[in-house]
Amino acid sequence: MDGRQSTPEQPITRNSCTSNEQCGLDLKLGPLSEKKIDWGGFQQRPIDIIREDRYNPGKFYFNSRTTIMQWVPSQPVTVLVGNVTQEDINVGYRDGPSDTAEFTLISDFVQYNQTKMAISNFQNACVRLYDFETDIFSTIVGFCNAYGRGRIPYVSWARFDNTTEKHSLDPQFSGILSIYLLEKWNKLLIIDNGYKLIIQHDFATQKTRLLNIDLFTKSPRPIQVIADQQENNIFINHAYGLTRYNLHTKMITLLLGSIDETLQGNRAIQLIPGPFTTAQTGALDTLRWLQQDRVLVSMANRQNEALVMIDLEQEKVYSVCNGMCRVY
C-alpha cells in the first residue's frame, strides 16, 4: 500500500483502498499530510489523544504523559494542566490549583460543558475535574491513588450484577483506560483496565454501577467507546472486534471481528479488510466518527500500522495503509 508492486506475500484486494475514489465512501477526503507542531521550549513527547475544543473550533488539546497541552496551529504549544518536568509518570496526586495539581499518566479527557473538563488518571485510578473558571482541580469519580493511600477495592466489579451501586468517590478502579460522556443520559462511561469492564457514573445520583456485566465476555477487554448522535447505541472497540450495544434494549451485537475468550487482548491479529462477515482488524487504538453515524475511523496498531475505516451502512472495513500494513 506504499506504492510498491503487489507480491504474493502482499497482494492488493478490491476491499483495500488508498483514496476516496477506491473506497467509494462518497466523502471529501484529502491526502494525508504531516502537521508540524511548534513545541516552543517544551520537550517533544508522545501524543496519545488529540481533540478539538468543543466550544472553540481551531483550538486543540492533547495529552502528553502527565500533562494536557493546548495548541492552536501556527502558534506554540502551551500547558493547560500538569507538570512537564515530572519524571515518574506513575507517581503524583494532588488536587487544588492547576499550577500545583499533580497527576499520574493521563489516559483520556472530555469536555462536558464550556467550563469543565473531566480527566482520567490511569495509575491514580480516578477521574479528576478541572474547572476553567476557578482553575481548581477536584475528584469526581474514584478514590485517587487508592493503593498508595491504603484504600484498596476489596472485590472486583466482575463479581457484581447490573444493579449493584457504589458511591462515586469510593475506591473502585484498577486503572482507567478511557472515559466517554453520554450527555443525554447525564452519565460518564469509564473503562477499567484491570477489571476489563465498562462502569457508568451518574452525575445526578453520584453513584456508579456496571453498564452491563454481560459485556465482560461479549466485549472482552474494551478499549474505547463512542455513541451515535442520538445516544441510542454505543460502539465498543474490544479484543478483537467491534460491538454495538443498545443503551435502551441492552442488546449486544458483534458487528465484526471475533471474541477473545482469554480476555487478555494481547494476541497479534492480521488486518483483513472487507465485509463485516470476514473482516479482521486486530487491536484498534481509538474510535472517531469520520462521518456521523455512518463511518468510523480508527488506527490499527502493532504490526498493522494502518488507518481503518468502518462503514456501518455498507458493512465493510477499508484500510489506508502505510509502512508495515499488509492486506490479504
Task: For the chain, give percent helix, strand, coil, nearest 5.
Answer: 5, 40, 60
Query: What single string gives the DSSP state of each residue in 240-281?
Result: TEEEEEETTT--EEEEEE---TTS---S----B-EETTT-B-
pLDDT in tens, the chain (328 residues): 333 333 333 344 445 555 566 666 666 666 667 788 888 888 787 788 899 999 999 999 999 888 899 999 989 999 998 888 887 888 889 888 887 888 989 999 999 888 999 999 998 999 999 999 999 999 999 999 887 787 877 677 888 899 999 999 999 999 999 999 999 999 999 999 989 999 999 999 999 999 999 999 999 999 999 999 999 999 999 988 999 999 999 999 999 999 988 877 778 888 888 899 998 887 788 899 999 999 999 987 766 778 888 999 999 988 876 434 444 3
CB contact at 8 A, 172 and 117:
no
d(CA 228, CA 326): 30
| Per-residue model confidence (pLDDT) at position 94 | 87
| Per-residue model confidence (pLDDT) at position 61 | 95
Following CA atoms 53, 57, 59, 63 in sequence, which dihedral angle do they give, to the nearest 10 degrees? Answer: 30
| Per-residue model confidence (pLDDT) at position 60 | 95
pTM for this entry: 0.89
Nearest to 19 by CA among 28, 10, 7, 9: 28
**Helix H or strand E segment including 211:** none
Spatial CB neighbours of 297, under 8 Å, sequence gap ≥ 6? 287, 288, 289, 290, 307, 308, 309, 310
| Per-residue model confidence (pLDDT) at position 21 | 64
- In eight-state DSSP terms, residue 231 is S
| Per-residue model confidence (pLDDT) at position 25 | 67
How many C-beta neighbours within 10 Å does residue 265 have? 16
- In eight-state DSSP terms, residue 25 is -
Vertex 230: Cα angle to 132 and 197 (nearest 5): 75
Residue with grid cell 472485590, as numbered in its chain? 155
Cα distances (Å, whole numbers) of residue 114 to 60, 130, 254: 14, 11, 35
Task: Find out whether the peptide bond into 154 is cis, omega within 30 degrees of 0.
Answer: no
Beta strands (DSSP E) in 171-240 are: 176-182, 187-192, 198-202, 207-210, 224-227, 233-238
| Per-residue model confidence (pLDDT) at position 7 | 32
| Per-residue model confidence (pLDDT) at position 321 | 60
CB contact at 8 A, 86 and 66:
yes
Residue with grid cell 471481528, as numbered in its chain? 257
| Per-residue model confidence (pLDDT) at position 17 | 59
Nearest to 256 by CA among 245, 266, 267, 243: 243
